[in-house]
Amino acid sequence: MNVSDPVDPREGDARDPAVRVAIVGGGAAAVYLVARLLERAAPGATITVFDIADRIGPGMPYGRAWTGAEHLANITCDEIPPLVTSPIAWLTDRSDAWLATRGIARAQISRDLLMPRLVLGLWLEDQFTALQAQAATRGVRVLARPGHAVLDVIDVPAADAVRLRVRARDGAVATLEVDRVALATGHVWRSDPADALECYMSPWPAAKLRGLRDHPVGLLGTSLSAIDATMTLALAHGRFARDVDGRLRYAPDPRAPRFKVVMHSRHGLLPSVRTYCDDEQFDPHRFVSPAEIAAHLAAHHGRLSLDWMFTRVYKEPLATLDPAFHAVIRDMSLEQVVAHLIAQRRALDPFSLLAREREEARASFATKRPLYRDDVLEAMPYAASFYTRSMSAEDVIRFHDVLMPLASIMIAAMPAERAESLLALHEAGRLEVAPIRDGTSFTVTPGEPGATLSLGDAAPGGAREVHYATFVLCTGQPRMPASSLPFPTLIAQGVITPARLRFCDDGPRPSPRTLRVEATAEGDVLDPIAAAVDDRFRPLDRSGQPSPRVTLLSFPYIAGLFPDHSGLPFCDASARITAEHIMRPPTRRS
């Protein structure tokens, strides 16, 4: 467990010649950033990690205040980027009793194991502690400040410094001066309506879903968060057990005979099931080198073509890895490939497709062979996300509105174990999937429980509504505008500004489904709902100049520019990109 360090007056001492870094936020992004900073830190450097939570490492996705024992991480042990001790070695060192209480059998420990989220949080916490010890041997201080809220961040250009206003556990507020600050504040969930019961704007924290409810529960979305919510609800209303043939069954609680979960999703689809992946799965340059991308940019006036990336990172690898599938999609556009893959999934009942994909996943892991049409599809948007800022507004709209809806069901894939649980729920009559279309909305009536879902033309006969006495929005982390970043002085100073992307064609503008087009004196621009940052995650001021002192890794505020930011691998990749400039000595001491 992290222990809050006492305030050290040297921490903010401007006479100290080494770099002083503050990291605001203590989740996985902070842990990976500490690891990469230590690779470059000189003796005497200080890195202070602040988090309002009582632990450094787990953050929201892996923290006990938010998640539950029933939730699995969506990354295998072997896919987790390295820190001090590998997950496999760390788990191997645990006792059998420790493992058993957390739902892990020793025989399960392998590169393909999906740890419970809470266990992954414990690993991250231990890794942070190990990094502190490692730093001490190098003369670098890594200070943990759990239970501390950073109220504001103030840029001080004249001193080449940044000041933080920090509220400690006891309520005392102090000002700390550092040379560099990395903002890594993590998830931001919508608040539940204060005037409505049983209407939840996210499934987090999971504890709020654990009560007994003798009525259908409506979920909007079939994201991995929706699957987590379904598991929490299922375990509150029954139990899973295997029958004599080893088949997983769900036994409902007789006290809630009307309970079931209805998941509403676009096209009525469930996410695909995870298959075995190559070791290089999360290398953004697995299929295209930085030099190739630089050459493309140079030849196209600094613009990256989404179609070129789609061909180079998706189609061309499939020509070798899956020639039969490549022959089918070789002459298709991005839009046509997406439509083809969606149509293939819609051709089957979602639970029949789920059962088939579960068996394909089992075979893939058993033979250690990827399903390359899925494997390569996952690589493409991840690679392209690092270069979205170089795309035209037209291509960014296509990225968000065409490619990412497919990614949400075929890339954000569920574990095979969860597929088995969903099938058991469905067979017990306690889980349904229903389609929705664009324009679906929900309304809340003050004083009434739940919400009414307006389904538009999703059903025969035109518009219809359905009321759920319990309703949960499960559409994932919303993109947050730059103006909502919780550090008002950085916004007032112009250090943080909204991103704006230019169209390259003067013709009719596309109508984005999830982004906004804004008219300006210089013409229309696209608002991707993100803060402006450069390729090193440095926020850009109004003139487009990057901050030399502030790094923005709070992903809800830059997700519009990084559509596919895949968990721990993205935390590690962004830390590697930012570490060098964060540890650069301040100019006032050069």
The per-residue pLDDT for range 72-108, each reduced to its tens digit, is 999 999 999 999 999 999 999 999 999 999 999 999 9
Asked if residue 154 is part of any domain, the answer here is yes
Same domain? 159 vs 63: yes
Token pair recorded at residue 382: 């991840």
Asked if residue 480 is part of any domain, the answer here is no
Contacts (Cβ under 8 Å, ≥6 apart) of 557: 480, 481, 482, 484, 485, 530, 531
Of 372, 404, 436, the position where a domain reaches its end is 404
Please tell me the predicted confidence (pLDDT) of residue 44.
Answer: 95
- Residue for token pair 């030099």: 291
Of 380, 404, 428, the position where a domain reaches its end is 404
Token pair recorded at residue 165: 């206003």
* Number of helices followed by number of strands (H, E) in the chain: 17, 23
Token pair recorded at residue 209: 């879903």
Token pair recorded at residue 215: 């009525």
Same domain? 216 vs 315: no
Same domain? 108 vs 181: yes
Token pair recorded at residue 20: 């002083």
Asked if residue 236 is part of any domain, the answer here is yes
Same domain? 97 vs 152: yes
- In which element (H, E) is residue 51 found? strand 46-51
Same domain? 158 vs 42: yes
Same domain? 34 vs 167: yes
What letter would DSSP give residue 375?
A: H
Asked if residue 533 is part of any domain, the answer here is no
3-state secondary structure of 288: coil
Measure the CA–CA gap between 31 and 33, rounded to whole angstroms.
5
- CA 170-549-392 angle, 5° bins: 120
Burial 140-168 (b: 16+ CB within 10 A, else e): bbbbbbbbbbbeebbbeeeebbbbbbbee
Measure the CA–CA gap between 376 and 312, rounded to whole angstroms.
11
* Sign of the CA dihedral running 447, 253, 232, 271: negative
Asked if residue 483 is part of any domain, the answer here is no
Domain span at residue 45 reads: 9-188+548-589
Total number of domains constituting the chain: 3
Please tell me the predicted confidence (pLDDT) of residue 462.
Answer: 53
3-state secondary structure of 67: coil
Mean pLDDT (the chain, rounded) = 91
pLDDT in tens, 338-378: 999 999 999 999 999 999 999 999 999 999 998 888 888 88
pLDDT in tens, 403-429: 998 888 887 899 999 999 999 999 999
- Residue for token pair 């969860």: 418
Same domain? 219 vs 80: no
Confidence of residue 336 (pLDDT cuts 50, 70, 90): very high
- In which element (H, E) is residue 115 found? strand 114-116
Same domain? 465 vs 581: no
Residue 215 has pLDDT above 50, yes or no: yes
Instruction: Determine the average pLDDT of the residues in 383-387.
Output: 94
Instruction: Determine the average pLDDT of the residues in 512-536.
Output: 88
Please tell me the predicted confidence (pLDDT) of residue 378.
Answer: 86
Same domain? 50 vs 174: yes
Asked if residue 494 is part of any domain, the answer here is no
Token pair recorded at residue 10: 């040297």
Please tell me the predicted confidence (pLDDT) of residue 279.
Answer: 62
Measure the CA–CA gap between 2 and 380, rounded to whole angstroms.
38
pLDDT top residue among 281 and 250: 250
Looking up residue 579, the CATH number of its domain turns out to be 3.50.50.60
Please tell me the predicted confidence (pLDDT) of residue 8.
Answer: 45
Query: Using an 8 Å Cβ cutoff, are 575 and 83 in contact?
Result: no
- Residue for token pair 């100049």: 545
What letter would DSSP give residue 192?
A: P
Asked if residue 24 is part of any domain, the answer here is yes
Contacts (Cβ under 8 Å, ≥6 apart) of 107: none
Measure the CA–CA gap between 31 and 20, rounded to whole angstroms.
17
Same domain? 44 vs 97: yes
Contacts (Cβ under 8 Å, ≥6 apart) of 310: 334, 337, 380
- Residue for token pair 């083809």: 340
Residue 1 has pLDDT above 80, yes or no: no
Token pair recorded at residue 490: 């950085």
Please tell me the predicted confidence (pLDDT) of residue 9.
Answer: 36
Same domain? 139 vs 252: no
Asked if residue 561 is part of any domain, the answer here is yes
- In which element (H, E) is residue 101 found? helix 96-101
Instruction: Determine the average pLDDT of the residues in 28-50.
Output: 97
Please tell me the predicted confidence (pLDDT) of residue 461.
Answer: 53
Same domain? 13 vs 124: yes
For 214-272, the DSSP string reads SSEEEEE--SHHHHHHHHHHHHHSEEEEE-TTS-EEEEE-TT-TT-EEEEEEETT----
Of 384, 404, 424, the position where a domain reaches its end is 404
